[in-house]
Chains A and B, each alone.
Chain A
């Protein structure tokens, strides 16, 4: 069986890789979108915090013997708390200044984190084993699907949908959306918006750390893993529409798949296809696919 002269297993294999990459893109761009919405900061440290998430999982296992499942919860909590400290100590004093300062600060933070982990762990990467329960493959007939990769897609989808529901369907979410529009007025209703901002930053980077733990068994745990992925994720956030939650999730998965399919039909172009899409979207719909025109 073949599809456009491409053997089906090859086609489906790339589609699957695309979906998995898309799952990481979606969770990462979701956090970026949340942070951008409420703090108005393009969080350049996001990729580094994704890397830190993976390293926390690795270190939990290496030092304390704490395995994958607790790490899936613990690493985001630890990195989220770290994010809260970053927000309170470093980003809060910049809140009144031009956005550029926040961007520069988080960029510097990314370099620092990356540099520190490179210093201690080099660039060859550390192995993190797939947990026993997720070993093995599903035989789909036309291809073999590793169980862990299926789990990554499912777990990402669950986290994305849960976050979307939190933002769109709860009272807390309504308060967050209102604070994105007019933070002063929400404060004047008695809501502690600075606290909301801090928690949002912590939650956004916790999502990055969650993606990092999911990624650890697939890619090696590597100090550079964040900077490799983050530029693509920025492009996806722009395509989805800066600050749009739905846009971040949908374009994350969509562009992962788009990248995977390009690899089937024109492998050389697969590394740039997302940026080509970004350029086209910026020309045709400058506010992004799901963004509101300014």
Chain B
């Protein structure tokens, strides 16, 4: 087969994947939702009606103001605009996601790659350790970490990342093990390629699809998890606007002042739903199992 026909084949496979994705209205919706969350987070100071309300502003005259033309989603217990705080809250959520994934994906993926490629002792040790870590209830572990460290965004990241890599290790291990048995890997070995070359150039590219789908779905669960931690008072501390903390604060004023809970609560739901729909769409597009 000539090089040019090979190239056309690759292109068309890619185009077909894109066609599968773009023909899926749910996936497109997910992508738009994720894009809106990311844009809102980046341009929060420009979009938010009251950017200074992200801080420790107090305006008791508008305490618990109901949703109206000025405060579209109402105001909180010290009179701050809830919409502005929700927009800044996305910032904190996405920071948490980025912080956790930057640590968890390389560590988990790397260990999974190694375990799948090298059989024997390395495989046994890594899979054994991963299985043990998988058996630890994440929130319980986060509570334990929260107990010894002071609650903050960084420590919430540490607590989550400490367990999050296990899922990536498990997933990449499965793919890497099956790819390592393929002929082209054997061929590379016979041609004298180093372990490093085989791992990064032969096996890793085959894991990219799975990793990217998993990472997208992860974003949703990390937002959920971070919100749960801060709802319990173990995450981001005031006055930094955090969606979970806002729900916890608003809960004290139920049932009359429902907007204090509904706005940040539904914002969490919106973000997690978006990442989930996008992740499902990517999964269909790459046709992989996660």
Q: Indicate whether A and B interact.
A: no
Using CB atoms and an 8 Å cutoff, list the residues of chain A in contact with chain B: none
